[in-house]
Structures are given as structure tokens and as C-alpha cells.
Amino acid sequence: MSPTPEEKARQTIDGLLKAAGWIVQDRADANIDAGPGVAIREFALGHGFGEADYLLFADGRAVGVIEAKKEGSTLVGVEIQTQKYSEGIPAALPAPRRPLPFLYQSTGIETRFTNLLEPNATSRNVFSFHRPETISQWLNDDLASAGSTLKARIASVPPLSPFGLRAAQFTAINALEESLAHGRRRSLIQMATGSGKTYTACSALYRLIKFAGARRVLFLVDRGNLGRQTLKEFQAFRTPDDGRLFTELYNVQHLQSSRIDPVAKVCISTIQRLYSMLEGKELDPELDEQSGSTLEMLKRPPEPISYNVAIPIETFDLIVTDECHRSIYNLWRQVLEYFDASLIGLTATPSKQTLGFFNQNLIMEYPFEQAVADGVNVDFDLYTIRTLISEHGSVINAGFQVDYRDRQTRKIRWELADQDIP
């Protein structure tokens, strides 16, 4: 007998849980101490609460619930049902927080997650399940100090001093912190080229790391030379409170291999390198120096990304994507949506697609005209320069070597021109 749609969904969910480090057990063979994370299928709850599709245990403690639905089901709104299950945990079970704080709803194809430790908690899409070690850390942090989530900590950062910042940079950082504190997972900053976008990002990330306790930040760039420029910005950035360099306080890694430094607070990478890392492949160094947003790349059909055990979805708390009007398409969009992180987009030229990807949450607009009016940028004049060749063209004389490209194979061959070529 072929499995039902519900059974197929649970088979896929089992695979996702195992990949993330959970031990999946049947209720009859349950052992909550079998490992750091145990997921027990069809766990009977208290009277009147039925049974949870999966009950999650981390370090022997009940911490969360998964509600499984068949493929194609709409998950928005299902968190209400999941929360009901989280409230029906038998009193005899070890559970340091009641209701259980971590709620998942999944079809195996789509998964949503709610963290009840966060203020004004809402569900969000996630690529897969979090690792049990991460769940335990979140719970332990909360037990040690209420309001320990990143969202809560951002809401309590000290006021920003305008010292050393241009007015637009001051406004952008305040707007970003407000957006993140309200739980908006995608924030878009538009600032004219040359007006200090990267410096603004360095200033904002310093505050989010120091005062909000962001564990690790990813700074995505379009090509290798921009990554080197960004590294220099962090190396030259002096903190506004004690004047030390950013890199004297925090490790900044410019990714040149497939290994993420576990103590790095900021990782700088091209989006094509990160894609290769998620695929478990080495990247050709030449590709790292090319723009990831070429026409060829945009036409390339995206191959589905699978869960990478070495790079779990919670690897980064925040992702800054520079020139984000290029990185939200096709192949690269998958990279951005793999991680359970808040996305911060930087661009000088947002398109309608960019605004759509960031849920219309444009928190800062600073166009070139305003930058010129503020004296931040210098205006330009257009000149047309006419030359004899630009006006009348030129000629390749017979006898010179000329390259010809085969239209089918694209192979180039060199031949002597047997006549003048205008």
C-alpha cells in the first residue's frame, strides 16, 4: 500500500530532523536522554489536548512541538493549533518553560517557526529545523535572563550618538534598529553611491554586536574585490566609544575557503562562494572575482539547495547584502533564504523587485540629488567629445591579424585580413 500524503510528509520531516541533528523516535521506544535532541512521534498530551505529531526534547527537556501537515497545506494560521499542543504538556514531563517556547509547522516542503521567547512572537518561514544545541542555548539564555532574544536586546540598545556620523547615516542606523526591534526580518537601505553605505553598515553592526549581542554577521558582496574593500572598511573603522579599531575587538573573516571561522563575528563573502559552500563544493578563485550577477548567471536555472550539516540555518543572526538589487534573483535568492537571519539590503538603485523582496520595508531613502545638495557627493557635468574616428569610424587594413568567432562553437580563430575592413 502506498503511503498517504500525511505519511509522505512525515517521512520528509523525519529526514529534515535527522539532518539537523535530532534523533527521531516512535512513542513506544522513547528515550528522551538518547542524545542532545530527541523528536518523539505522536506524543500523547494531557487530557483534551490530543497528541502532538512530534514533541521535541533538548538535553532531556521538553522544548517544542512540530505540527505536520500534508504537502500543499497552508501553514499560516496553523501556529495557533501548535501553540495549543504546547500548552498541553503533561505535568510529569521536565519542561522549564510552559507553554513550550519553540513551535514548528511543516509539510516537509515548507516549514514555519515561532519562537515564543521573542516579544510579540510571530511565525516565519525557515529552510529547515534548528539544531538541538541551538534550541538549548536559546532556552538557557532565557532562563538566565529574561528578554535574552536578539529581537528583545535590539529594543534595549542605548541611544545612538550622532558624533562622527553624517545626518543620513545617523538616520539610517536608527531606522534599522527600529525595524529590527519590531521584528521586521527584511530591511532595505537606499543610499547614493559615495555617501557612505559601508561605513553606515560598519557602525550599525558594531552596535548590534556590542549592545544587542549578535553572535555572527554575514556581509555579502558581488565580487572578490568588493570583499577586500569591505574588509579594509572594517579594519579602518574606529569605534565611537573608545576609539579602538573594529578588528581589535572582533574577528573579521574574509572567506577565501569553505571554512567559517567559529570565532568570527563578521564573515565577508561573495554570494557565489557561499552558494558553493552550501553545495559542499570548492569555488574556482576566478569565479570569486567575477560579478555574481552576470546575464549568464541570471539565466542559469537554479538547482535546489539542500541542508548542509556544516552550515546550519542559524549560522548567522544578520545578513547584510551589498548591491542587493542584484542578489535577490534566481540562483542567489536561495542563498539568502537558506539562513534564518534578518536581511539588511544596501543599494543605491532599488528596483520594484528589490522593494518586493524586502516586503516594501524601505527604511531609508537618500538619493544622489540629496547627497549633492548636502555636499556629500559632487555633481557632474556631461560632455560629448568628438574625434575623427568616433565621427567617421576607422579601417583595419588588409594584412593585419583579425580574430573571428564561430557562431556555433564560440571558438576564436585568427586570420590575416585579405581586404580592408571598415
CATH no. for residue 25? Answer: 3.90.1570.30
What pLDDT, on the 0 to 100 scale, is given for residue 287?
80
Task: Answer yes or no: is 12 within a domain.
Answer: yes
- Listed range (87-101, 121-135, 163-177, 367-381) with the worst mean pLDDT: 367-381
The verdict on 70 and 158 lying in the same domain is no
Strands 318-322, 217-221: pairing kind: parallel
What pLDDT, on the 0 to 100 scale, is given for residue 302?
62
More confident residue, 390 or 223: 223
83: pLDDT strictly greater than 90: no
What pLDDT, on the 0 to 100 scale, is given for residue 341?
97
What pLDDT, on the 0 to 100 scale, is given for residue 264?
97
Torsion sign over Cα 339, 340, 344, 348: positive
Report pLDDT digits (tens) over 120-179. Answer: 999 999 999 999 999 999 999 999 988 889 999 999 999 999 999 999 999 999 999 999
Query: What is the distance between the alpha carbons of residues 58 and 37, in angstroms, rounded to a whole number?
Result: 5
Q: 77's torsion region: left (phi>0), alpha (psi -120 to 50) or beta?
A: left
Strands 318-322, 61-68: pairing kind: unpaired
Number of structural domains in the chain:
2
**pTM given for the model:** 0.87
The verdict on 156 and 99 lying in the same domain is no
Task: Answer yes or no: is 343 within a domain.
Answer: yes
The verdict on 333 and 186 lying in the same domain is yes
The verdict on 249 and 107 lying in the same domain is no
Helix and strand element counts for the chain (H, E): 16, 16
Report pLDDT digits (tens) over 179-190. Answer: 999 999 999 999
The verdict on 157 and 77 lying in the same domain is no
Task: Give the residues across from 326 on adjacent strands.
Answer: none
- Cα distances (angstroms) measured from residue 155 to each of 12, 149, 316, 344: 37, 10, 19, 17
Q: 122-147 b/e with 16+ CB inside 10 Å = b?
A: ebeebbbbbbbbbbbbbbeebeeeee
Q: Which of 373, 389, 417 is the last residue of a domain?
A: 373
Residue 233 domain boundaries: 150-373
The verdict on 132 and 238 lying in the same domain is no
More confident residue, 18 or 44: 18
Report pLDDT digits (tens) over 400-410. Answer: 666 665 665 44
More confident residue, 386 or 108: 108
Report pLDDT digits (tens) over 321-366. Answer: 998 877 666 567 888 999 999 999 999 998 888 898 899 999 999 9
Task: Answer yes or no: is 211 within a domain.
Answer: yes
Report pLDDT digits (tens) over 281-312. Answer: 888 888 888 776 555 555 556 677 899 999 99
The verdict on 230 and 184 lying in the same domain is yes
The verdict on 184 and 78 lying in the same domain is no
What pLDDT, on the 0 to 100 scale, is given for residue 293?
58
CATH number, domain containing residue 184: 3.40.50.300
pLDDT over 90 percentage in the chain: 64
Task: Answer yes or no: is 398 within a domain.
Answer: no
Helix (H, G, I), strand (E, B) or coil at 299: helix
User: Integer distance in angstroms from the first to the last C-alpha of the chain?
Assistant: 74
The verdict on 72 and 205 lying in the same domain is no
| Number of residues that this document lists for the chain | 422
Q: Which of 116, 144, 172 is the last residue of a domain?
A: 144
pLDDT over 70 percentage in the chain: 91
What pLDDT, on the 0 to 100 scale, is given for residue 410?
46
Q: What is the mean pLDDT of the chain?
A: 89
278: pLDDT strictly greater than 90: yes
Task: Answer yes or no: is 397 within a domain.
Answer: no
Per-range mean pLDDT, top range of 9-23, 41-55, 294-308, 317-331: 9-23
Task: Answer yes or no: is 88 within a domain.
Answer: yes
Residue 196: pLDDT band by 50, 70, 90 thresholds?
very high
Task: Answer yes or no: is 422 within a domain.
Answer: no
The verdict on 158 and 263 lying in the same domain is yes
Q: 180-196 b/e with 16+ CB inside 10 Å = b?
A: bbebbbbbbbbbbeebb
